[in-house]
Amino acid sequence: GLPRSLAQKLVLQTMEGAIAYAKESNEHPAVLRNDITSPGGTTAAATYKLEEGRFRNVVSDAVWAAYQRARELGGKDHKVGPSTLR
């Protein structure tokens, strides 16, 4: 692999570029993703694996857990969100 410092620099620059592009485009992120995803390409393969592993659900559950914990720490009712609908 790459040296850690170089890998970190490349990741940060990639993220900065993606964020800048998303801000300037005024398109929905899904449109941007579809625009750069070639059928059978590397992005499609990576996206498939993320979805297969329920990445979207894991991230959503993590955000809700943090929100609920923040409400608990703030003394607010934490019985809100998707888990209360199950």
pLDDT of residue 78: 59
pLDDT of residue 75: 86
pLDDT of 3 over the 70 cut: yes
The model's pTM: 0.60
Q: pLDDT of 5-63, one tens digit each?
A: 999 999 999 999 999 999 999 999 999 999 999 999 999 999 999 999 999 999 999 99
Give the torsion sign (CA, 79, 82, 84, 85).
positive
